[in-house]
Amino acid sequence: MWHGRPAHGRMRKMRMPRSKEEINRMSAAVEQVHAPMSKQVTFTVWFCLLGLTCVEVFLAYEQLELRVMLVLLMTLSIVKASLIIAYFMHLRYERQSLAWTLMPALIFVVGMLFAIFPDSVRVLLMKPK
């Protein structure tokens, strides 16, 4: 929205708030307006996290093959991390632009970190017999 040129002819860079009402309106923009998350949701998420932890410990006692273990445990951990981010860290209830700014970049960088990972099995699998 273009406000036009002020009388003194220079382009205005910033406008100071005029009234107390306006200041209140501006600060309301950055105040968190949503209602607090219900206790029921909090405790449900907590029980889910505890339950998933128990499943992980149970898997450790099952002594599965390392690669199977790794896939199962990491899947469960990603589910747990998502629950923490979405509910405890409240990202689910924020404006979507915040998640879209933060998460794709994080996922991309972590994905790139895996670029050299296949090299880890090279020494074990490809060494001359």
Partner 1 sequence: MSSQAHELTAIAGESVWSGGASPYAVPSKKLGMWLFIVSDAITFSAILIAYSYVRVATQVWPRPFESASIINATVMTFVLLTSSVTMVLAVRAAKLGIRKRAAGWLFATLMGGVLFDILHLREWFWLFHQGVTLWSNPWGTPLFGATFLGLTGLHMTHVTMGVFYLAVVAIGTARGKFSSDDVEVSGLYWHFVDLVWMFIFPLVYLLSARIG
Which amino acid is located at 73 in the chain?
L
Which amino acid is located at 59 in the chain?
L
**Residues for the chain: how many in total?**
129
Which amino acid is located at 98 in the chain?
L
Query: Which pair of tokens denotes residue 30?
Result: 């950055």
Q: Which is nearer to partner 1, 5 or 46 (CB)?
A: 46
- Could you say whether residue 124 binds partner 1 (CB under 8 A)? yes
Nearest to 46 by CA among 7, 84, 95, 94: 84
- Return residues touching partner 1 (CB under 8 A): 1-3, 12-15, 17, 22, 25-26, 28-33, 36-37, 39, 42-43, 46, 49-50, 53, 56-57, 59-61, 63, 66, 69-70, 73-74, 76-77, 80-81, 84-85, 88-90, 94-95, 97-98, 101-102, 105-106, 109-110, 113-114, 116-117, 119-121, 123-124
